[in-house]
Amino acid sequence: MRRLVAALTCAVTAVASAVVLAAPASAAGHQTYTAYSDGSPDGTNRSLAVFYSYGDLLVGCDMSKDGHHSVVVYYARGMSGSRAVHNHNGAGGQCTRTRLDLPEGTDLVFQSCIGEGSRIYACGDTVAATA
């Protein structure tokens, strides 16, 4: 019985954590959206991308000291094609910050990716956001 209760507790905690991490954070109508990338099949290359609707700030962080860098690929409604922001600042949580200056209510999609040089070779899930 104890094993069953422990297993159910772990399952509920995991589902609740997934729901909280997937939902954008909000304060006074301002949203924060987060995208992650495993970068490689073994999951060792990690990058993180965050979009803050207040100030239209797009942040890309390199979370792994693996010789690769993080890249944020994004597209906003009204743009002609997607754009990429490469983070060559180094690993271990170093981040780049880019102000997008989007009109209020503009739809945006972005991904957190791993790159080498100018090449992008792996991206995580696409996250939808609103400026």
CATH number, position 105: 2.60.40
In a domain, 78, yes or no: yes
In a domain, 17, yes or no: no
In a domain, 8, yes or no: no
In a domain, 74, yes or no: yes
pLDDT (tens digit per residue) in 66-93: 788 899 999 999 999 999 999 988 777 6
What is the distance of C-alpha 29 from the center of its chain? 20
In a domain, 13, yes or no: no
- In this prediction, residue 81 carries a pLDDT of 93
In a domain, 3, yes or no: no
* Among 98, 94, 69, CA closest to 83: 98
Backbone angles phi, psi at 90, to 5 degrees: 110, 175
In a domain, 32, yes or no: yes
Tokens of 87: 């983070």
Domain that holds residue 103: 28-130
pLDDT (tens digit per residue) in 22-65: 444 545 568 999 998 874 545 555 788 999 999 999 999 988 88
In a domain, 64, yes or no: yes
**DSSP secondary structure, 84-111, as one string:** EEEE-S-SSSEEEEEE--PPTT-EEEEE
Structural domain total, the chain:
1
Tokens of 72: 């944020």
* Among 30, 85, 31, CA closest to 62: 85
Q: Taking every pair of C-alpha atoms in the chain, what is the biggest distance, in angstroms?
A: 59
* Confidence grade of residue 21 (pLDDT, cut at 50, 70, 90): very low
